[in-house]
């Protein structure tokens, strides 16, 4: 089998990354475009580098994207976005441009992430863990079968979004500031049952379709990933294909780019049959001390990467090269498409978008042109 040797890239910046031989495979460059349909409905306009108006999917494809990520929420979702109908619209748009799709199951009526994993309202009364796992299995199977019958089966599927905490959590008491009063430890027997039910659903649902989605499990912030997967392996969570990592170095992670690359390299060594993707990242292109124009208010910028279009691009290029040098198989940007629009919600745009407040693409989008040395 042909192999690729990923070499040191950034001089002293990634000097601790020794050459790593990994199985040859595709590299993925992409974006989470879960807001794209909402932006289109709200009249958002995107301009490419030449100033010409283009569709968001075409712009990303033209700049090197081969993957689109999209989230799906469960039926208690009170918006018309991140629904099955909305996801169908996104997948059709992505596949029309020849891009692959990563479907991100949140298994929640709204946001599920590293800080919370709220159970869907319709599932909240289920007290038997085996029945709850089966409910998740049936739901996942239904969604994927529905997509498959329309020739919209995604190439990758996430079983949960940033599943650092235990999945499908019941409501817990909160303090006056809104924080959860006591943060529970993970019941790994229960959590493994739920996760494995989701993985099994992906395998079973795609059995009669040409596309067999690869399964990703995602953990937020690289410093948390190795410990989580070690614990998961101990309880029998193993039938996945990709390790997904979120990295927000300017806000939530304690790691710099070098440390992030080192973590990915260790993961590739510990789990040689698994690929590792940086599935979420972002960086501000401008300062926004009050957070008016940012869904990710930068608390501390990384040294050497100012909040500017050039700083954003430098961060993304250096990060991408570090990921590839470590044997990672790609980088996916989160919410690059949030620009000013006509709707009341999310109308201000975002400093972490890959477009300016006039909708013109920023140079950071070309992180997707970054490659490793041959």
CATH number for the domain including 171?
Answer: 3.20.20.80
Tell me the average pLDDT across 317-346.
94
pLDDT at 21: 46
pLDDT at 346: 72
Q: What number of H helices and E strands is found in the chain?
A: 8, 10
Task: Please check whether residue 374 lies inside any domain of the structure.
Answer: no
Query: Residue 350's CB: how many other CB atoms inside 10 A?
Result: 27
| DSSP notation for 13-79 | GGTT---EEEE----EEEEE-TTHHHHHHTT---B-TTS-B--HHHHHHHTT--EEEEEE--TT--S
C-alpha span between 208 and 210 (Å, rounded): 7
Q: What mean pLDDT value characterizes the chain?
A: 90
pLDDT at 3: 44
pLDDT at 128: 98
For the question of residue 171 being annotated catalytic, the response is no
Task: Please check whether residue 231 lies inside any domain of the structure.
Answer: yes
Task: Please check whether residue 47 lies inside any domain of the structure.
Answer: yes
Catalytic position from the list 162, 171, 179, 262: 162
pTM of the model: 0.91
Task: Please give the structure tokens belonging to residue 124.
Answer: 């909240």
Model pLDDT for residues 100-136, shown as the tens digit of each residue: 999 999 999 999 999 999 999 999 999 999 999 999 9
N-to-C CA span, the chain:
17
- 125 burial via Cβ count (<10 Å: 0-12, 13-18, 19+): exposed
Model pLDDT for residues 156-198, shown as the tens digit of each residue: 999 999 999 999 998 766 667 766 656 679 999 999 999 999 9
Task: Assess whether pLDDT exceeds 50 at residue 1.
Answer: no
Structural domains counted in the chain: 1
Query: Residue 42's CB: how many other CB atoms inside 10 A?
Result: 17
C-alpha span between 28 and 277 (Å, rounded): 8
Query: Torsion over CA of 253, 259, 262 and 268, rounded to 10 degrees?
Result: 10
C-alpha span between 180 and 334 (Å, rounded): 26
CA distances from 113 to 71, 117, 167 (A): 12, 6, 10
CA 318 to chain CA centroid, Å, is 19
**Residues near 94 by beta carbon (within 8 Å), at least 6 away in sequence:** 33, 57, 68, 70, 100, 101
pLDDT at 67: 98
Task: Assess whether pLDDT exceeds 80 at residue 70.
Answer: yes
Task: Assess whether pLDDT exceeds 50 at residue 14.
Answer: no
Model pLDDT for residues 266-302, shown as the tens digit of each residue: 999 999 999 999 999 999 999 765 566 666 555 678 9
pLDDT at 334: 97
Task: Please check whether residue 280 lies inside any domain of the structure.
Answer: yes
Task: Please check whether residue 217 lies inside any domain of the structure.
Answer: yes
Task: Please check whether residue 140 lies inside any domain of the structure.
Answer: yes
Model pLDDT for residues 34-59, shown as the tens digit of each residue: 999 999 999 999 999 999 999 999 99
Q: Which of 71-80, 81-90, 168-177, 329-338 has the lowest average pLDDT?
A: 168-177
Q: What range defines the domain where residue 358 resides? A: 3-369
Q: Which of 20-29, 105-114, 222-231 has the lowest average pLDDT?
A: 20-29
Q: Which residue has the higher pLDDT, 121 or 7?
A: 121
Q: CA angle, corner 336, sides to 221 and 47, nearest 5? A: 160
Task: Please give the structure tokens belonging to residue 248.
Answer: 């927000």
Task: Assess whether pLDDT exceeds 70 at residue 5.
Answer: no
pLDDT at 180: 62
For the question of residue 166 being annotated catalytic, the response is no
pLDDT at 291: 60
Collapsing DSSP states into helix, strand and coil, what is residue 279?
strand
Catalytic position from the list 179, 262, 280, 290: 280
pLDDT at 294: 65
């Amino acid at each position: 089998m042909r192999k690729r040797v990923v070499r040191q890239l950034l001089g002293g910046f990634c000097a601790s990354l020794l050459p790593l031989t990994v199985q040859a495979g595709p590299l993925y460059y992409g974006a989470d475009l879960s807001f794209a349909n909402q932006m289109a409905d709200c009249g958002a306009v995107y301009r490419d580098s030449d100033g010409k108006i283009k569709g968001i999917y075409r712009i990303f494809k033209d700049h090197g994207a081969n993957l689109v990520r999209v989230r799906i929420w469960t039926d208690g979702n009170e918006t018309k976005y991140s629904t099955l109908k909305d996801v169908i619209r996104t997948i059709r748009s992505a596949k029309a441009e020849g891009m692959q799709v990563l479907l991100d199951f949140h298994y929640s009526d709204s946001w599920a992430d590293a800080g919370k994993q709220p159970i869907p309202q319709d599932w909240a009364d289920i007290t038997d863990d085996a029945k709850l796992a089966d409910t998740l299995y049936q739901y996942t199977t239904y969604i994927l079968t529905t997509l498959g019958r329309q020739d919209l089966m995604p190439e990758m599927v996430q079983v949960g979004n940033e599943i650092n905490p235990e999945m499908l959590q019941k409501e817990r008491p909160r303090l006056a500031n809104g924080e959860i009063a006591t943060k529970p430890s993970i019941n790994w027997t229960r959590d493994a049952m739920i996760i494995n039910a989701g993985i099994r659903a992906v395998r079973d649902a795609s059995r009669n379709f040409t596309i067999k989605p690869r399964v990703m499990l995602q953990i937020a912030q690289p410093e948390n990933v190795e410990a989580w997967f070690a614990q998961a392996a101990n309880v029998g969570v193993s039938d996945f294909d990709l390790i997904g990592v979120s990295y927000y170095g300017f806000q939530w992670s304690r790691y710099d780019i070098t440390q992030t690359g080192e973590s990915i390299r260790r993961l590739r060594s510990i789990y040689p049959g698994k690929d590792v993707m940086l599935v979420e990242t972002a960086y501000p292109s401008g300062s926004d001390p009050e957070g008016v124009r940012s869904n990710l208010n930068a608390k501390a910028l990384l040294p050497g990467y100012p909040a500017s279009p050039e700083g954003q691009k430098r961060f993304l290029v250096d990060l991408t090269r570090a990921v590839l040098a470590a044997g990672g198989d790609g980088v996916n940007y989160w919410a690059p498409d949030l620009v000013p629009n006509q709707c009341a919600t999310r109308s201000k745009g975002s400093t972490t978008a890959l477009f300016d407040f006039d909708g013109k693409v920023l140079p950071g989008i070309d992180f997707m042109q970054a490659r490793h040395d041959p």
